[in-house]
Amino acid sequence: MSYSSLKRSTKPMKRKRMKRSRPDPERGVEFSDDTKAQARVRAGNRCEGHCTKGCATRIAVFHHRQRRTQGGKGTLENCLALCRNCHDHIHDHPTESYLRGWLIRGTGLLER
């Protein structure tokens, strides 16, 4: 069988639409609009990460320092306002992120 015949016979795969899941109380809490607004003010509308030369300085995401899966709450203390590049850097380099405080282990340090 030639490559051209294989190419014609294969059908493109259709992407399945993912269903949105309901918020899971066991997974932690999203940030409220009020918390996001407070984080923006605290950050001066700039990225709080400054972790890479590619820092875009424009806020794109609100990051949980203590991950939601580890019980991270939707509080201002647990929130970092970040650009996309810094957010990706934090998750790509967890050792550095824990040392700098961008990530916090699920030890209850932020509980109130």
Measured between alpha carbons, how far is 72 from 63 in angstroms, rounded to an integer?
10
pLDDT band at 3 (very low <50, low <70, confident <90, very high): low
Domain boundaries, the chain: 29-100
- pTM comes to 0.68
Looking at per-residue pLDDT, the higher value among 7 and 102 belongs to 102
- Whether 51 has a pLDDT exceeding 70, the answer reads yes
Query: Using CA of residue 63, residue 69, residue 75, residue 78, what is the dihedral sign?
Result: negative
Q: In this model, does residue 39 exceed pLDDT 90?
A: yes
- Model pLDDT for residues 18-31, shown as the tens digit of each residue: 454 444 554 557 89
